A and B are shown apart, each in its own frame.
Chain A
Amino acid sequence: MLTVEGLRSRYGRIEVLHGIDLDVASGEIVTVVGANGAGKTTLLKCLSGIQPVSAGSILFRGEALTTVSAHRRVQRGLAQSPEGRQIFTNLTVEENLRLGAYLFADEKVDRDMQDAFVMFPILKEKRNLAAGGLSGGQQQMLAIARALMARPSCLLLDEPSMGLAPILVAQIFDVVKSMKALGVTVLLVEQNAFGALSVADRGYVMETGRITMSGPAAELIADERIRAAYLGI
């Protein structure tokens, strides 16, 4: 579904991705774990087209994406819930969700919104409030729900568990797991390696702009080095 080869990217003169190779098969949940500043967010920004790529290729459902502008990538089925809950703070919760389905104007929009409210009942309660007034956890839910409104075939999630209370973290990872049943492929970026590897099929470990390890999630979770570096065990 998604194949990345030799991807490089830079901020000004400083290169932060030094050739990333990665692939995600249809229906999989794949995670990229790594420490602070490894370049995980930059990778997802490149995939969504909001960060320039200096070398390498991105193939999505058989088509090259590198020269496709950001809004067109959403049309092709690639949606992202960005890091730091980049929601529309001035607009209401419902308007945020409606804009998630910006590309659509059919009856399914309403059904998708009802589905989002079933998935996150708190959003239904607060549907008419300005999104900027939501708590951190609620904003995170809104960001995920908004990305799902775009009917993605592949969902990019950037640190959905960051800064959340443990009970909410568990809920968010349950939602990620439920994407399988919906037929949505997931690329999940996390610092919370244990949580991410528990729900993923496969995982990649990223260190300062390079992939240093990859394999089935169960194997990575059992790996001595990973346990020491990322799981604190």
Chain B
Amino acid sequence: MPELLQFLLSGITVGAVYALVALGFTIIYNASDVVNFAQGEFVMLGGMITFFAHAAGLPLPLAALIAIIVTAGIGVALNKLAIEPARGAPVVSLIIITIGASIFIRGATQLVFDKQLHRFPAFSGDQPILIGGATILPQSLWVIAGALAVFVCLWLFFTRTLIGRAVLATANNRIAAQLVGINTNYVMTLSFAMSAAIGALAGVLVTPMTLTGYDVGLALALKGFAAAMLGGMGNPKGALVGGLLLGVLEAMTAGYISSQYKDAAAFVVILAVLFAMPQGLFGRKSTDRV
């Protein structure tokens, strides 16, 4: 029994990381139908900038704050320099632009910083906490709390705020959005800033556990993307549930079968779910998206 609990706890921890990455996808996707494959780079930047700011002598919270703000700025730059000039291009082209941007960001990070792996101290120490015979790191609790907090904020943003609805309206019908007075360029800028900030926050939270380096973004983006697809792209609830499910699935496969099969098992389950529910568990139905 403690074994099952242990797998569950590590699964939830990893799942919370995936959920954080997946949550970052939702805003840009909701505003523009674009799946931003540079989302993983935002996570990487959050970790890297925090590490270097901290190494330069800044206290950790301040370093993290700077990392989140700078990454949000990079998100805005990505929108202004690469996405906005290509407005009107098919969504597929925009997605390819984000892939190009992610390669560029990875290269630039290598030049500006370095190619080493880095970590900074866990926020509340490294002493494992005992729960019913299993253990969990304090940093895991930070990651889980972070995922839940971001989820709640996003959910409130989209359902309770006018600007959140304006984001949805812009994705649904850009022309109509302009006709009611929404500045759709501003909505896009805001979406990229928020998604990048969420990505950076994820990087800040997970780096003490997973380490960071210029090339960690791609794997995170792929896992976050898988989680978002599983839960339903664009839906914060889907991102959270999809992430946790994926993490637990991987941990169980690794624990009871073999860690060699964990990616394959997750992949099979995702395919099965998407086969039965092409929109994911909580996705929007395509019928009401004209």
Report yes or no: A89 in contact with B162, Cβ–Cβ below 8 A: no
Interface bits B109-148 vs A (CB < 8 Å: 1, else 0): 0000000000000000000000000000000000000000
Contacts of A75 in B (CB 8 A): 181
Q: Closest CB of chain A to B115's CB: distance in Å? A: 44
Option from A86, A89, A90, A91 in Cβ contact (under 8 Å) with B179:
A86
Of A87, A89, A102, A132, the most chain B CB neighbours within 10 A belong to A102
Contacts of A203 in B (CB 8 A): none
A150 CA to B169 CA, complexed, in Å: 16
Contacts of B184 in A (CB 8 A): 71
With A89-B173, A90-B168, A132-B290 known as contacts, the answer to whether A100 contacts B178 (CB < 8 A) is no
Option from B168, B182, B289 in Cβ contact (under 8 Å) with A102:
B182
Q: Chain B, interface size: which category? A: 20 to 34
A71 CA to B165 CA, complexed, in Å: 16
The number of inter-chain residue pairs (CB within 8 angstroms) is 78
Option from B165, B166, B172, B177 in Cβ contact (under 8 Å) with A89:
B172
Q: Is the interface of A mostly helix, strand, loop or mixed?
A: mixed
Q: Is residue A88 contacting chain B, with contact meaning CB distance below 8 A? A: yes
Q: Is residue B175 contacting chain A, with contact meaning CB distance below 8 A? A: yes
Q: Is residue A123 contacting chain B, with contact meaning CB distance below 8 A? A: no
**CB nearest to B234 among chain A residues:** A90
Option from A89, A146, A149 in Cβ contact (under 8 Å) with B289:
A89
Report yes or no: A100 in contact with B180, Cβ–Cβ below 8 A: yes
Q: Closest CB of chain A to B112's CB: distance in Å? A: 36
Q: Closest CB of chain B to A135's CB: distance in Å? A: 14
Contacts of A146 in B (CB 8 A): 180
Of B169, B175, B180, B184, the most chain A CB neighbours within 10 A belong to B180
**CB nearest to A70 among chain B residues:** B178
Report yes or no: B175 in contact with A86, Cβ–Cβ below 8 A: yes
Report yes or no: B178 in contact with A105, Cβ–Cβ below 8 A: no
Contacts of A99 in B (CB 8 A): 162, 165-166, 169, 177, 180, 182
With A88-B173, A90-B284, A91-B172 known as contacts, the answer to whether A102 contacts B166 (CB < 8 A) is yes
Q: Is residue B183 contacting chain A, with contact meaning CB distance below 8 A? A: yes
Report yes or no: B176 in contact with A82, Cβ–Cβ below 8 A: yes
Contacts of B289 in A (CB 8 A): 89-90
Interface bits A51-93 vs B (CB < 8 Å: 1, else 0): 0000000000000000001110011000110100011111100
Report yes or no: B290 in contact with A88, Cβ–Cβ below 8 A: no
With A91-B172, A105-B162 known as contacts, the answer to whether A74 contacts B290 (CB < 8 A) is no
Q: Is residue A179 contacting chain B, with contact meaning CB distance below 8 A? A: no
Interface bits A125-154 vs B (CB < 8 Å: 1, else 0): 000001011000000000000110110000
Q: Closest CB of chain B to A112's CB: distance in Å? A: 13
Report yes or no: B181 in contact with A95, Cβ–Cβ below 8 A: no
Q: Closest CB of chain B to A78's CB: distance in Å? A: 10
Show the binding face of A for B, using Cβ within 8 Å.
48-50, 69-71, 74-75, 79-80, 82, 86-91, 95, 98-100, 102-103, 105, 130, 132-133, 146-147, 149-150
The 5 closest A-B pairs by CB, nearest first: A74-B181, A70-B178, A86-B176, A132-B288, A103-B181
